[in-house]
Amino acid sequence: MGKSKRITEEQMLGQRGVNLIEDRVLKMGHIWHPTNPLEAGIDGWIELRDKNTGEVSAQGILGSL
Full-model pTM: 0.76
Residue-wise pLDDT tens digits, 32-49 = 998 876 666 778 899 999
The model's pLDDT over 12-29, given as tens digits with 9 standing for 90+, comes to 998 898 899 999 999 999
Answer whether residue 65 shows pLDDT above 80.
no
- Give the pLDDT score at 6: 93
39 near 27, Cβ under 8 Å?
Answer: no
What pLDDT is recorded for position 18? Answer: 87
**Residue 15 in 3-state DSSP?**
helix
Q: How crowded is residue 26: how many other Cβ atoms within 10 Å of its Cβ?
A: 12
| pLDDT value, residue 39 | 65
